[in-house]
Chains A and B, each alone.
Chain A
Amino acid sequence: MAITGLPGGRAASVPLMGHETEPTMFELSVAGRSAAQLRTTGVPTRSLVDMVGAAHVKDEPVALSDLSERDLVGHFTRLSHRQFSVDLGAYPLGSCTMKYNPKFCDAVAADPALNGVHPGAPATLTQGWLELLVDLEEKLCAITGMAAATLQPAAGAAGELTGLLLMRAYHASRGEDRRRVIIPDSAHGTNPASVTLGGYEVTTVPSNERGLVDLEALRGALGPDVAGIMLTNPNTVGLFEEEITEIATAVHDAGGLLYYDGANLNAIVGVVRPGDMGFDIVHMNLHKTFATPHGGGGPGAGPVAVSARLADFLPGPKATRVADGTFDWVAPAQSIGRVHGWHGNAMVLARALAYIDVHGGDGLTRVAQHAVLNANWLRRRLADTLPAAYDRPCMHEAVLSATALKAATGVRGLDVAKALLDEGFHSPTVYFPLIVDEALMFEPTETESPQTLEALAQAVERIVARADTEADELHHSPHHTPVSRVDEARAARHLIATEDAAAR
């Protein structure tokens, strides 16, 4: 075919990333320097001891880092040059949906008419924000096929725990004490951690040889003490749970609820709705599907949408359209309470709504189609190099396995992932899901071009071709990144988590 791996698909500037070790801001500090410039207020000065009493005043101010503005800019700019990002190059990190983050959405969020609004200002003075939140809730409900949603949870894991507390409140309202939540063995680690914090016990069900939930095992695990099941669909192996209707029926027949982990919603947005699959509770990671930037590890947002029978339990107060067409904060009748200090990660919510509005219903469907197209193309393209863990059509992620490569050459999945960094690509997710040996989970996302995918495939081919003769070099890759492999064991053994612990 005509697609070639043109330059530019990879992060061509990787060899230029900062190789010099950067001093810390404390090492750059010179006592007496300062960059701060504060407003001239004309307010009379007063002594702190007068104001708060000597018992409370610190003898010496806390030593921070004293820098000129120029040095501050130099330091953080040099640090930024030691950092890979979506803007720099392809980031096929499976499970994380590292798609391009439209600059437009950042611009929307930078508007002081939105980001300069105090969260404690009354509803009458913040009608625009309340309307924005209501509009977003309605659109998220349309996307998920649910009746109502809370926008408070700050990330996916917070959404999961919120969902489990909703499950708990629902069962309690029916006078039922259910103790267990079922999770497939392929689930994200946040799922079992959230179940414990939700006050439930985890029951794990195995996957079958096709990488899907084993329906018979699930039926065997169900019982009157099961509160529900948490599922990711498509699952973390990148496959659609084709028996979802049978799963939903079995869980509902046992009186349980179905929780949808929205980590993989990008694969099905506009194609399948969790509500139509029988799910009762759905969390969405807006920083994945709706392209809000990941920020080096947050902020995200994890709204939770629910079916009608759970709507009264949602966290509150919620932005609500009231009778006269204005907006107010209203607590659902049997609300579980607040799950965030204010109203959720509002600026992330605004970015997601802007993304939804630009795409519209038609554009969101194309997002899923192209995400799945890219993943399947990459899976097929690499079939002879690194086979897929399950040889069948995948959704938005291609989970490949380096088992054969390792057996033949000793080169592991981790080595391939690290060597890709030298090739100018971010690594895929490695060793997850846990049920796949030597897993390499590629999620190209819909925003990478065919040329980038071809360049990525060629890079993987080059690495695998080197495995026979250059295994040792691959074990020690990457070689051209700002630092080489780091000693993680040393970091844990001699914990140095602050400059002061380093005691230079």
Chain B
Amino acid sequence: MADYLPHTDEEVHDMLDFLGLDSLEHLFAHIPAAVRLSGGLDIEPGLSEPDVAAIFAGYGEANAARANAMTCFAGAGAYDHEVPAVVKALGSRSEFVTAYTPYQPEVAQGVLQAIFEYQTLISRLAGLPIANASLYDGATALVEALNMAGGATKRSRMYVSAGVHPHWRAVARTFAAGTGHEIVEVPLVDGLTQWGSVDTSDAAAIVAAYPNYLGVVEDLSDARALASAAGGLFIVAGDPVAAGVLKSAGDWGADVFLGEGQPFGTPLAFGGPYLGLFACTMDQVRRLPGRIVGETLDSNGRRSFVTTLRAREQDIRREKATSNVCTNQTLMAVTAAIQLGWLGTSGLRDVATRCAEGAHYLFDAVTAIEGVEAVSSQAFLREFALRLPRRASDVIADMAASGVLAGVAASTLAPAGDPSLEGIENVLLVAVTEKRTRVELDAYADLLRKAVA
């Protein structure tokens, strides 16, 4: 028996006495007996913290792919970046961790200002004038962007490049069942979206990925032109680290930028909690989903921050709200602001550049291996797709035995039959971060050579 309740037995007795009750059970006397649980929950009795820690150590040991046990070359939207001690220390301050949504701005200036700084950073990386306070993850940010496009155009057809992460497209399809949106996937050939293969004149949205999930850096001019011709929104799903060196979504003329913010200070964490990034033009600000922090003054004329444009939100607007989002990912947004503060202008550029240098070094080494080919001949930044002479999952298993997580098997992301990838069972997605050394890259190439021999 263990818990965190402060009451002594005597105090419980006194409090019940004050209420004129004999027992704790009497607090629930007004609940019909027919629905009350008799005999308690079918869950074992409580354990002490050290006992539970032992159980959790067992879970950890059963993860062969745990950090420190395996060198990570997996990416596909989740990246093994450096998170320094200072970011962990600041991001785990209990004032940020144990607060809630800043409903009382007088005692929430810490979180509010940190979000304001986060919004500024994301707006600059997106090249767009406004960003929200965060969404759940990249996939749900895509859904919100499609909903924004539906609202802005009163149309329902969404043309989404097959270069957008397969899971994100899957999430978009799931939620389209409720909104009635039609998701039209535009296929890739040689890693490039075939925008000319479809009639997009009725588009609510044109969605491109930059870089796409195969790593390819596509020219977005055609996609932008199609969105303009159709009168739909141009939505760019971008890698925020790439945004440190590549043209911004705004540079390409995007109406909306969205992305996965995990690379900014959030650990791999088995996929969550991550951070949905969202920025847009001022034209769409009234349709912006989620919370927005704005600057204002307090009654003494001091600069203050407060959540604003609240009339868009579910607790005010109810069934007419732009989104149902309430709790979002504030702690990850605050952490991203801290991580970007640590990196600074040159640091983010260095991280993006080093990722690219490592990826290109490794690409050259592995594509020299007999039987290993690049899936695309196009330019890439920090990850690439290989076609192997064996099933990618078998190669991952072989290399894992030597302590290397070789990448992500494309077939585990996109179900078989994705028209954009022939022979998907043999396709391996490989990502390189600034943490990977030349020694590790050389070792990877050696292991892959053996695995495909």
Contact = CB atoms under 8 A, between A and B. Distances in A.
A330 interface: no
B136 A158 contact: yes
Contacts of B377: none
Interface string A27-64: 00001011111111111111010011101111001111
Contact of B63 (A127, A169, A372): A127
Interface in A69-110: 69, 72-73, 75-77, 79-88, 91, 93, 96, 98, 100-102, 104, 106-108
Nearest to B74: A118
A100 B4 CA distance: 8
Given A127-B62, A492-B309, A497-B293, A363 B46 contact: yes
A491 B317 CA distance: 19
A226 B5 CA distance: 43
B315 A240 contact: no
B447 to A, nearest CB: 15
B40 A481 contact: no
- Indicate the size class of the contact surface on chain B: 35 or more
B346 A370 contact: no
B453 interface: no
B148 interface: no
B155 interface: no
Given A72-B341, A492-B294, A498 B123 contact: yes
Interface stretch (A251-259, A404-412, A444-452, A466-474): A444-452
A491 B61 CA distance: 51
B361 A84 contact: no
Contacts of B334: 296
B139 interface: yes
A177 interface: no
A62 B47 CA distance: 51
A457 to B, nearest CB: 12
B449 interface: no
B175 A161 contact: yes
Interface string A1-12: 111000000000
A465 to B, nearest CB: 22
Given A83-B108, A491-B295, A58 B248 contact: yes
A449 B12 CA distance: 10
Nearest to A84: B107
B14 interface: yes
Contacts of B102: 296-297
A48 B259 CA distance: 22
Contacts of B119: 497-498
A421 B342 CA distance: 33
Contacts of A62: 124-125, 243-244, 248, 345, 348
A373 interface: yes
B131 A497 contact: yes
B177 to A, nearest CB: 6
B113 A336 contact: no
A369 B24 contact: yes
B111 A83 contact: yes
B365 to A, nearest CB: 11
A301 B79 CA distance: 22
B283 to A, nearest CB: 13
Contacts of B82: 38-39
A158 B376 CA distance: 36
B268 interface: yes
A283 interface: no
B52 A357 contact: yes
A77 B90 contact: yes
B41 A340 contact: no
A14 B328 CA distance: 27
B3 interface: yes
A491 B296 contact: yes
B201 interface: no
Nearest to A195: B319
Interface in B351-388: 351, 353-354, 356-358, 360-361, 379-381
A219 interface: no
A446 to B, nearest CB: 6
B390 interface: no
B360 to A, nearest CB: 5
A21 B303 contact: yes
B90 A72 contact: yes
B104 A426 contact: yes
B423 interface: no
A189 interface: yes
Contacts of A435: none
Interface string B17-46: 111000011011111101111001111111
Nearest to A368: B28
A52 B396 contact: no
Interface stretch (B163-171, B186-194, B224-232): B163-171
B318 interface: yes
A296 B28 contact: no
Contacts of A18: 109-110
Interface string B308-343: 111101111111110111111111101001101111
A196 B441 CA distance: 50
Given A82-B109, A244-B35, A357-B55, A341 B165 contact: yes
A190 B324 contact: yes
Given A93-B100, A189-B321, A63 B124 contact: yes
Interface in A343-390: 343-348, 350, 354, 356-367, 369-370, 372-374, 376-377, 380-381
B359 to A, nearest CB: 8
A343 B297 CA distance: 42
Given A118-B405, A373-B27, A61 B267 contact: no
Best-surrounded residue of A3, A157, A287 (most CB of chain B within 10 A): A157
Contacts of A391: none
Contacts of A208: none
B353 A48 contact: yes
A347 B358 contact: no
B179 interface: yes
Given A155-B327, A432-B315, A495-B308, 11 more contacts: A35-B341, A61-B349, A96-B101, A111-B56, A155-B326, A296-B334, A358-B46, A370-B5, A393-B27, A478-B106, A499-B116
14 contacts: A34-B343, A35-B86, A46-B357, A61-B348, A80-B110, A101-B98, A122-B409, A240-B31, A270-B41, A272-B31, A298-B330, A341-B77, A363-B3, A372-B27
